[in-house]
Amino acid sequence: MSAAVSQTDSRTRPLRVVAIDGPAGAGKSTVARLLARKLGFDYLDTGAMYRAATWHALHSGIPMDSPDALTEAVASMDLRLEPGPEGMRVWVGDTEVTGVIRDPEITANIWRVDQVPGVRQVLVRWQRTFGETHDTVAEGRDMGTVVFPDAPCKIYMDATPECRAKRRAAELAAKGLAVDPDQVLREIVERDHKNMTRAVSPLRKAEDAVLLDTSDLPLDEVVARALAIARERLGIPA
């Protein structure tokens, strides 16, 4: 199934949505992708949308310190998402950016884009449109608090900073990149602070979200617990 992202905001009631939030390295992307597959839903990686916006700004020469320029660039960006069993593929124009948006350069600059109110307004509108046209497992930083506040199922995934830094370091090492574990931990802590203290849509647990601490759990157990929560909240029999 392919799905072009539309700028239309119909504001109709979403279909069945599982909203997953949490800090970097908590395992949201992997769990959300597997959970979507088990439920037969589509997977919406909203972080990939902000990464695509960051890639577009950097490669278009947009001043990263200009909120107006960034907002205009994102609003006119030709973003296309294609949900699939192995995850979400992402295009900007005719260029597939699914892999490149995970590069360290994008990670280091994404905060310059995702803190801009105008950018968030554009992408939140697109995210809601996706949720209004697909049964969705959506993961990000503000799914349950801002994008889908009425979602029947909300999960907040978390883990200790040390655990999340270890996972991130392993991901980088698997890509053949040099890794300084202490630096990775510092970056995790710094990113947490920026996400939790930003003026617009700060990272926080929704009051009606279920907390799922993944620190000491293997992946299959995390997925099993998330699946049980989703089935209960959505009324889907096991």
pLDDT of residue 201: 84
Within a domain: residue 123? yes
Within a domain: residue 218? yes
Within a domain: residue 238? no
Strands (DSSP E) contained in the chain are: 3-4, 17-21, 42-45, 79-82, 89-92, 95-96, 136-140, 153-158, 210-213
pLDDT of residue 208: 96
Would you mind telling me the total number of residues written for the chain in this entry?
A: 238
Within a domain: residue 23? yes
The enclosing domain of 114 has a CATH number of 3.40.50.300
Within a domain: residue 206? yes
Within a domain: residue 236? no
Range of the domain at 166: 3-230
pLDDT of residue 199: 83
Domain count, the chain: 1
pLDDT of residue 85: 67
Helices and strands in the chain: count of H runs, count of E runs? 8, 9
Within a domain: residue 32? yes
Measure the CA angle with vertex 61, ends 55 and 67; round to 5°. 80
Give the mean pLDDT per block of 10 residues along the chain (238 residues).
Answer: 42 75 92 95 93 97 96 96 81 95 91 93 94 93 95 96 92 85 92 88 94 94 98 93
pLDDT of residue 70: 97
Sign of CA dihedral 7, 9, 10, 13: positive
CB 53 within 8 A of CB 11: no
Place of tokens 């296309």: 80
Place of tokens 């109709």: 12
Within a domain: residue 235? no
pLDDT of residue 83: 79
| CA 114 to chain centroid | 11
Whole-model pTM: value is 0.85
